[in-house]
Amino acid sequence: MMNTQRRKKLDALFEAFSVIADGSYVYLCDMKEDYSRWSQNAVDFFNLPGEYMHNAGAIWEEHVHPEDRNSYRKSIDNIFSGADGGHDMQYRALARDGTYAVCTCRGVVLYDDEGNPEYFGGAIKNHGLMSYIDAVTGMRSLYGFFDDLQMLFWKHQKSSVLLTGISGFSDINDIYGYTFGNRVLQKLGSLLKDAFANKGALYRMDGTKFAIISHDLLPEQMSEIYKNLKSQVSHDFYVNDEHVSISLNAGIVRVDSFDISNETVYSCLKYAYYESKSRRLGEAVIFEDALSDDNRQLIEKLNVIRNSVSENCKGFYLCYQPIMDANTEHLKGMEALIRWKNDLYGTIPPIQFIPVLEQDPLFPELGKWILQQAMEDGKLMLEKYPDFIMNVNLSYAQLEQSDFVSTVLQLLNQTGFPPQNLCLEITERCRLLDMSLLKKMFKTFREHGIRIALDDFGTGFSSLGVLRELTVDTVKIDREYVKNVEQSASDQHTVEFISNLADAFSAEVCVEGVETAQMRDFLRRYGVNSLQGYFYSKPIPMEQFVEKYIREHQETA
């Protein structure tokens, strides 16, 4: 029988765990006595012997699906031997009704004063209790999609996954009402079922999106089926005898690597989907083609990079490119640019991972790390260059966070970096966000002295509209408009037009992509304020930047 004092301590700790369990089953094991307490609802659902159990690990192992037991047993053995300090795993567990529920189990070891393992506790989330059926369409839901995707990894089953959805669906709701809008979704779901009949499983995702997982079709075959469906719905789509014109978008991912997470696959899928929506007029985008990467294990690499974010941004580092005064060519500021490297993949440029990570819920964490690191590094320049400006790129994924303004202000306070020396760079993609909220956000930034720059001006469809809506301090002309500026009359007119336009909005102009002295001299004719490019320096790590612009400067002074 368990000692009374230890039983009281077990109960007290169990209650503490229960407070933060958030709807999960709680378990707590006294490792010295091998005596556990489990949530009563877990006991009821899985038909366990009781709320208190001796040797609960072995009892629970009997409920774990036979195909999942080896990994479960190995994890428990490592925990009780002291090799691991906890676990985070997913497996199937047998319920009272004879079915298996997919469970996510997270646990940690608590140590005594001598550093010996004393308690092992945590929470089990029963995905079987979540809503696996979408109420509108009767299809498997987003939860079902993730569970089935996980099952593919367990079975090492190669598959193709398609995500499709409707553009401008809010207009349909506004014109016809929400009931009619639901019928549109039901009709589209029915057409998708017919199109992929016996070729894949169909899911209703968030919003207006649907997904198909197919073990039989290659991405190119899914793309062809989607192409025919897209053509059909654009011309011949009727709901209640009412003709409705709808436009679809689609992204496709091939899953042939299995040591990856659901979230990585979904982020890649959403990236391809939004490429279809924003750049390809709804044509299906296959993920690998979208990034033009020759690495056959691209998704595996992205999975490692994604995991690095959750490991305190391990492997990420910043490089900096100088921004020079166009007239004096004195150092004016620098732009922070993210990089990632590890021993297996080497150094990876941001174009290969930032567009995908922007679709991931983890991205704001990386964005926060970039801001903090840039501020810490920027302080090294301020003693020598008190007017020095640190430019940091923002993603729309950061801007849509409700606490983003407070995050920036907290980081400024935490690092001691002066707000007037910070410039936040946005692109015209921010048009996707609520403009009134952006105005309020930027108004707060400007009240604190923080500068705003509009990056890559002219490369999107809405740069002029964004410039009209938002007050910015600097307009940055993309390198595409200056690479032939010495020979191209159209590029010359473009630079002159943007320079005059920025001046009309009381904004400075910075030109990116300056590669030669001749290009520099030519651009000076148009009254630009700042220059940036390889002519001055490629992006370099902070140590080299300090060496180049502080130590060498001191030695030659």
Q: Which CATH class is domain 142-292?
A: alpha beta
For residue range 253-300, list pLDDT tens digits in order: 998 877 788 888 899 999 999 989 988 899 999 987 555 444 446 788
At 23, is the pLDDT very low, low, confident or very high (cuts 50, 70, 90)? low
The CATH code of domain 314-556 reads: 3.20.20.450
Question: What share of the chain has pLDDT > 90, as a percent?
Answer: 42
Considering only residues 241 and 379, tell me which one the structure prediction assigns the higher pLDDT.
379
Residues 359-383 have a mean pLDDT of: 92
What pLDDT score was predicted for residue 480? 84
Considering only residues 120 and 488, tell me which one the structure prediction assigns the higher pLDDT.
120
Global pTM reads: 0.65
142 φ, ψ (degrees, to nearest 5) = -60, -40
Q: Is beta strand 508-511 parallel, antiparallel or unpaired with respect to 530-531?
A: parallel
What pLDDT score was predicted for residue 330? 93
10 Å Cβ neighbour count for 436? Answer: 9
For residue range 101-114, list pLDDT tens digits in order: 888 888 888 988 88
What pLDDT score was predicted for residue 552? 60
Residues 368-396 have a mean pLDDT of: 94
What pLDDT score was predicted for residue 292? 47
240 burial class (0-12, 13-18, 19+ CB within 10 angstroms)?
Answer: exposed
**Fold category of 4-129 in CATH:** Beta-Lactamase (3.30.450)
Residue 423 contacts residue 452 (beta carbons within 8 Å): yes
Is the pLDDT at 500 greater than 80? The verdict is yes
Is the pLDDT at 507 greater than 50? The verdict is yes
What is the domain partition of the chain in residue ranges? 4-129, 142-292, 314-556
What pLDDT score was predicted for residue 415? 96
For residue range 176-192, list pLDDT tens digits in order: 888 898 999 999 999 99
Work out the mean pLDDT of the chain and round it to a whole number. 87
Which residues have CB under 8 Å from 57's CB, separation 6+? 29, 34, 76, 80
Question: What share of the chain has pLDDT > 70, as a percent?
Answer: 92
What pLDDT score was predicted for residue 483? 83
As beta bridge partners, residue 91 has 103
| DSSP secondary structure string for all residues of 333-348 | EEEEEEEEEETTTEEE
Considering only residues 168 and 59, tell me which one the structure prediction assigns the higher pLDDT.
59
Is the pLDDT at 534 greater than 80? The verdict is yes
**What 8-state DSSP symbol labels residue 350?**
G
Residues 461-481 have a mean pLDDT of: 78
Torsion on CA atoms 302, 303, 308, 310, rounded to nearest 10: 130
Residues 367-388 have a mean pLDDT of: 94
Residues 121-129 have a mean pLDDT of: 81
Residue entry with tokens 């016996």: 198
How far apart, in whole angstroms, are the C-alpha atoms of residue 36 and residue 47?
A: 16
Residues 329-340 have a mean pLDDT of: 95
